[in-house]
């Protein structure tokens, strides 16, 4: 079974009358692709922008517009859709919809569904800047938050009117990531603080050149997203910007070099329950980075002197679980076990980075987990998100 947090979930997608309604079609499609069952509920105004048939075709389910349409499921049992919802996603939510919700109204299919549901509500406003900033809209949103709704702030940029400002529907990735966070809030890592590192460090030679490695950050980002999906409060220390879906609900700290990573990790592990280092930290850096671009002149060769970087994982300690990764191309067992010991780890996840589909840059990974108590677990080739969940399963056991 898929470990995607939205797989098998009943999501009610409420669409209101805004030009951004067409973007709700992408949300519906992405939700269906990850295995969610989507019931679309539209305001009458929304149907002026996008036809219900669009959502019906994408979700393979009837779309509800009229509260009292005899053919509509809602008319048969007007709370059925609301009752089975795991979450309600209102995207786009107009000022009008937000005002009616804040007034507790149930005068159309969308508001009636929200009022009849006990599920968490995620509101994604989209409107003109002044409407969004108006004290009435802000007060309405504050009231809905007080009642437990989660609001995904709109983005700034070009609006339908041609003006620039805040009010664009948030990025679909941010919306889906927030939905994942909301659904996972009571997961088995709820109340835990997890620090994850990701990506290859960049060791500057001069302002335009650096030494790095092939780490894309995918493994670490999958760990951060999976820990967030299971309720953890996650800090992601990374050299690569995560996609918006991963970043939602995660405290992202961008770094470049091993020394940057060391100070970010040292800061983040204070009061953490676990540190998982999936980053590929450069063992060496240029002794000094030139202040200006080094010119080739007529030189035939260039000798760079490298000095040792600190070992981030070995140098942090405290009452938290320490999990390392080991990127190996041979003698995996020996190398992984010696790192487990030398760095004082609870477990180390070893991957053969020379194997196709495994290690650097791929979306899959084949890992062997070596535990401090001597247990060894060989996992098959799996998507990195699933590898992340297997590692977190072990973390949950270690945390007791
Ligand atoms: O980012 P991807 O493209 O998805 O690729 C994933 C990955 C291959 C980078 C990942 O799965 C992985 O193996 N990460 C660890 C890479 C590595 O640097 O391994 P290592 O064997 O050199 O280091 C062992 C451990 O010590 C690692 O947890 C590393 O983060 C840590 N380390 C290493 C050196 C250093 N100076 N400080 C450290 O903390």
Query: The tokens 């399963």 sit on which residue?
Result: 393
CA 278 to ligand 1 centroid distance, Å: 5
170: pLDDT strictly greater than 50: yes
Q: Is residue 317 helix, strand or coil?
A: coil
Q: Which residues line ligand 1 (CB under 6 A)?
A: 215-219, 258, 277-281, 283, 309, 311-313, 324-327, 339, 351, 353, 359-361
Considering the domain architecture, whether residues 111 and 215 belong to the same structural domain is answered as no
Which of the residues are catalytic? 213
Considering the domain architecture, whether residues 304 and 336 belong to the same structural domain is answered as yes
Residues 75 and 245: their CA atoms lie apart, in Å, by 35
Among 131, 159, 183, the domain boundary falls at: 183
**Position 79 confidence tier, pLDDT thresholds 50, 70, 90:** confident
**Position 105 confidence tier, pLDDT thresholds 50, 70, 90:** very high
Considering the domain architecture, whether residues 114 and 262 belong to the same structural domain is answered as no
Q: Are 399 and 273 in contact (CB under 8 A)?
A: yes
Considering the domain architecture, whether residues 208 and 286 belong to the same structural domain is answered as yes
Considering the domain architecture, whether residues 283 and 329 belong to the same structural domain is answered as yes
On whether residue 4 sits in a domain, the answer given is no
Among 132, 164, 183, the domain boundary falls at: 183
CA 125 to ligand 1 centroid distance, Å: 40
Mutating to test ligand 1, I would choose from 201, 266, 281 the residue with most ligand atoms within 8 A of its C-beta, which is: 281
On whether residue 255 sits in a domain, the answer given is yes
Considering the domain architecture, whether residues 150 and 289 belong to the same structural domain is answered as no
Considering the domain architecture, whether residues 178 and 208 belong to the same structural domain is answered as no
Considering the domain architecture, whether residues 204 and 311 belong to the same structural domain is answered as yes
Mutating to test ligand 1, I would choose from 324, 346, 368 the residue with most ligand atoms within 8 A of its C-beta, which is: 324
On whether residue 351 sits in a domain, the answer given is yes
Atom nearest to 361 CA in ligand 1: 3
Considering the domain architecture, whether residues 91 and 151 belong to the same structural domain is answered as yes
Write the CATH number for 222.
3.40.50.10300
CA 196 to ligand 1 centroid distance, Å: 12
- The string of DSSP letters for 96-152 reads HHHHHHHTT---SHHHHHHHH--S-EEEEE---HHHHHSHHHHHHHHHHHHTT-EE-
Q: Residue 66's domain spans which residues?
A: 10-183
CA 188 to ligand 1 centroid distance, Å: 26
pLDDT for 76 equals 46
Dump pLDDT digits (tens) for 26-76. 999 999 999 999 999 999 999 999 999 999 999 999 999 987 776 655 554
On whether residue 200 sits in a domain, the answer given is yes
Report the pLDDT averaged over residues 1-20. Answer: 92
Dump pLDDT digits (tens) for 119-157. 999 999 999 999 999 999 999 999 999 999 999 999 999
Please count the other Cβ atoms lying within 10 Å of the Cβ belonging to residue 53: 10
281: pLDDT strictly greater than 70: yes
Nearest 10 degrees: Cα torsion 261, 384, 250, 273: -70
Dump pLDDT digits (tens) for 328-361. 999 999 999 999 999 999 999 999 999 999 999 9
Atom nearest to 325 CA in ligand 1: 28
The whole-model pTM stands at: 0.96
Dump pLDDT digits (tens) for 209-263. 999 999 999 999 999 999 999 999 999 999 999 999 999 999 999 999 999 999 9
Domain count across the chain: 2
On whether residue 386 sits in a domain, the answer given is yes
pLDDT for 66 equals 84
Measured between alpha carbons, how far is residue 19 from residues 23, 84, 170, 269, 299 in Å? 9, 29, 13, 44, 60
Residue nearest atom 33 of ligand 1, based on CA coordinates: 281
Mutating to test ligand 1, I would choose from 197, 199, 202, 215 the residue with most ligand atoms within 8 A of its C-beta, which is: 215
Write the CATH number for 46.
3.40.50.1950
pLDDT for 298 equals 86
- Bridge partners (DSSP) of residue 261 are none
Atom nearest to 214 CA in ligand 1: 3
Considering the domain architecture, whether residues 266 and 372 belong to the same structural domain is answered as yes
On whether residue 2 sits in a domain, the answer given is no
pLDDT for 55 equals 98
Residue nearest atom 37 of ligand 1, based on CA coordinates: 311
Q: Are 152 and 124 in contact (CB under 8 A)?
A: yes
On whether residue 125 sits in a domain, the answer given is yes
Considering the domain architecture, whether residues 205 and 344 belong to the same structural domain is answered as yes
Among 151, 183, 215, the domain boundary falls at: 183
Atom nearest to 348 CA in ligand 1: 28
The DSSP 8-state label assigned to residue 17 in this structure reads S
Instruction: Decide the pairing of beta strands 306-308 and 284-286.
Output: antiparallel
Considering the domain architecture, whether residues 83 and 164 belong to the same structural domain is answered as yes
Residue nearest atom 36 of ligand 1, based on CA coordinates: 311
On whether residue 188 sits in a domain, the answer given is no
């Amino acid at each position: 079974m898929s470990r995607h947090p939205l797989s098998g979930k009943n999501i009610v997608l409420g669409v209101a009358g805004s030009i951004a309604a067409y973007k709700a079609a992408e949300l519906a499609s992405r939700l269906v692709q990850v295995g969610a069952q989507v019931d679309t509920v539209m305001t009458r105004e929304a149907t002026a922008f996008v036809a219900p048939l669009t959502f019906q075709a994408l979700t393979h389910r009837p779309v509800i517009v009229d509260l009292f349409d005899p053919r509509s499921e809602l008319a048969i049992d007007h709370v059925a859709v609301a009752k089975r919802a795991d979450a309600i996603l209102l995207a786009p939510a107009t000022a009008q919809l937000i005002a009616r919700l804040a007034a507790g109204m149930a005068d159309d299919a969308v508001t009636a569904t929200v009022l009849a549901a006990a599920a968490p509500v995620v509101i994604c406003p989209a409107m003109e800047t002044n409407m969004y900033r108006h004290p009435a809209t802000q007060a309405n949103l504050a009231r809905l938050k007080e009642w437990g709704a989660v609001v995904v702030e709109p983005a700034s940029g070009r609006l339908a009117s041609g003006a620039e400002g805040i009010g664009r529907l948030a990025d679909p990735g941010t919306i889906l990531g927030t939905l994942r966070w909301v659904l996972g809030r009571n997961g088995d890592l709820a109340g835990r603080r997890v620090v994850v590192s990701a990506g290859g460090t960049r060791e500057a030679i001069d302002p335009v050149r650096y030494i790095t490695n092939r780490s894309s950050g995918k493994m670490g980002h999958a760990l951060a997203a999976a820990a967030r999906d299971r309720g953890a409060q996650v800090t992601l220390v990374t050299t690569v910007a995560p996609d918006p879906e991963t970043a939602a609900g995660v405290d992202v700290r961008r770094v470049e070099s091993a020394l940057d990573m060391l100070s970010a990790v040292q800061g983040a592990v204070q009061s953490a329950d676990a540190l998982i280092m999936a980053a590929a930290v450069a063992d060496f850096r240029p002794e000094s980075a030139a202040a200006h671009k080094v010119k080739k002149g007529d030189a035939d060769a260039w000798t760079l002197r490298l000095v040792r970087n600190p070992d981030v994982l070995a140098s942090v300690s405290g009452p938290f679980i320490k999990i390392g990764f080991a990127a190996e191309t041979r003698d995996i067992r020996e190398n992984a076990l010696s790192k487990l010991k030398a760095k004082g780890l609870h477990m180390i996840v070893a991957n053969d980075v020379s194997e196709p589909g495994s290690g650097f840059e791929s979306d899959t990974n084949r890992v062997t987990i070596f535990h401090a108590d001597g247990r060894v677990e060989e996992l098959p080739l799996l998507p990195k998100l699933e590898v992340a969940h297997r590692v977190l399963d072990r973390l949950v056991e270690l945390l007791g």
